[in-house]
Amino acid sequence: MRIHFGGKEYDFTPPLRLREAIVIKQALGLTIDDFDRGMASTDPVAWQAMAWVVRSRAGEAELDPRTIDFDTDTWWIEAPPQQVGQGEPAANGDRPPVAAAPEGVPSPEPPPSPEPAQQPASSTTPPSEPSTSA
């Protein structure tokens, strides 16, 4: 899909990457659901987030999503025509680049590696039989 604003046009290939979603959450307070609903309902904060994503993916470095600004009357989205067979997930090599976290917004850290599960020590003593007292 093509996003047009500020006299320029940008490509956007869904979905948002996790890193992008985290930066949007940290900088603008939008969850992925908030972003999706906001894009459908013309929420200006969602537009600001989308503008950051497409500009960052286009290689415009050092962008802070909180400072993105443009005239709203220049904003429009050009969706590609749907074709039979579309909607299938792209191969990993076809994913769009991930937008980098702007200065002042912490870059998400990868989750820690899980600790190996503790195995109970094996016992050579058979379990005790329940006592039967009469």
Q: Give 24's pLDDT tier (boundaries 50, 70, 90).
A: very high
Domain ranges in the chain are 2-81
Averaged pLDDT score across all residues of the chain: 77
Angle at 73 between CA 79 and CA 99, to 5 degrees: 55
pTM: 0.60
Whether residue 25 has pLDDT greater than 80: yes
Query: Could you tell me the CA-to-CA distances from 112 to 19, 117, 119, 130 in Å, in that order?
Result: 16, 15, 21, 44
- Per-residue pLDDT at 90: 46
Cα separation, 103 vs 107, in Å, equals 9
